[in-house]
């Protein structure tokens, strides 16, 4: 497509070849962007490095979004290598497996706080670090990933739904703070996707089947679809769009009974 030619993008959250973050990285590469990837821990490094080779991406290093020193090191490395960045993809979320199977009422204080820190606050921390690097390039665009469970009570989504609601609120407030620097912030609310994260949700396959049966398009979402929308939102095609949650879920969010 070429719409991202000459642009430099950091994609945070690639876990394996089935992750939405990886689909976005592939689409960005196809659109002409230079890509930088991070990983969390040795296990994910072994998965990320071979993927990086497929799209000629730079692997910056380890990034635990709860570690401010690693965030600073990541963006310091990007500044040294590129001088600035144009795009940031935030595809990070976490909830303990038991909290996606038990009643929401039973989530512990510790697990609640951890889910909020990793799934929502991390966007704030990464956006703060990205601001000067984007400003150096004359502006930029940030995209994060959310889900319908942020605005509706989805069975077994539980604390993750609360964290995604906070994430969507962060998008709105960040868009106000960063707008004067010509930095846009948006979220994509994707439909159910068979990823490493979704495998932890009890009843996921039933949920995905329901979407395919009842959505206006009468099919499941393809992972390439939110990825293509991410490229559009990150590029100048969406130069007037910020603070929005864009649904890419084959229309399921509009369906009632």
Q: Tell me how far apart the alpha carbons of residues 221 and 141 are, in angstroms, rounded to a whole number.
A: 24
* DSSP state, residue 117: I
State which H helix or E strand residue 72 sits in. helix 68-82
Pick the closest to residue 21 from 242, 238, 234, 253 (CA basis): 234
Report the 10 Å Cβ neighbour count for 43: 10
39 catalytic? Reply is: no
List the one residue out of 59, 38, 198 whose CA is nearest residue 126.
Answer: 38
Options 39, 147, 247, 252, the catalytic residue: 147
User: For the sheet containing 140-146, what is the strand order?
Assistant: 58-62, 34-39, 8-12, 87-90, 140-146, 183-190, 245-248
Assess whether 147 carries a catalytic annotation: yes
1 vs 102, 104, 150, 161, 235, CA distance in Å? 45, 44, 32, 34, 11
Report the DSSP pairing between strands 58-62 and 87-90.
unpaired
Q: Which one of the listed residues 39, 157, 247, 252 is annotated catalytic? A: 157
Report the C-alpha gap between 58 and 30 in whole angstroms. 15
Are 94 and 114 within 8 A, CB to CB?
yes
- What residues are labeled active site? 147, 157
């Amino acid at each position: 497509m070429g719409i991202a030619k000459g642009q430099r993008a950091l994609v945070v959250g690639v876990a394996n070849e089935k992750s939405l973050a990886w689909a976005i990285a592939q689409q960005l590469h196809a659109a002409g962007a230079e890509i930088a990837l991070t990983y969390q821990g040795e296990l994910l490094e072994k998965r990320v490095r071979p993927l990086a080779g497929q799209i000629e991406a730079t692997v910056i290093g380890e990034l635990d979004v709860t570690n401010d020193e690693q965030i600073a090191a990541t963006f310091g490395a990007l500044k040294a290598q590129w001088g600035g960045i144009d795009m940031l993809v935030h595809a990070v979320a976490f909830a303990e497996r038991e909290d996606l199977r038990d009643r929401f009422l039973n989530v512990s204080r510790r697990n609640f706080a951890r889910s909020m820190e990793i799934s929502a606050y991390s966007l704030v921390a990464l956006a703060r670090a990205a601001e000067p690097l984007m400003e150096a390039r004359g502006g930029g665009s940030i995209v994060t990933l959310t889900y319908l469970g942020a605005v509706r009570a989805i069975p077994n989504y539980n604390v993750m739904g609360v964290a995604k609601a906070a994430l969507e609120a962060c998008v709105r407030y960040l868009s106000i703070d960063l707008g004067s620097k010509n930095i846009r912030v948006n979220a994509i609310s994707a439909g159910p996707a068979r990823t490493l994260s979704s495998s932890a949700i009890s009843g996921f396959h039933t949920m995905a089947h329901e979407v395919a049966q009842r959505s206006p398009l009468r099919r499941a979402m393809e992972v390439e679809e939110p990825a293509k929308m991410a490229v559009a939102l990150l590029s100048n095609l969406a130069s007037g769009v910020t603070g929005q949650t864009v649904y890419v879920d084959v229309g399921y969010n509009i369906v009632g009974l």
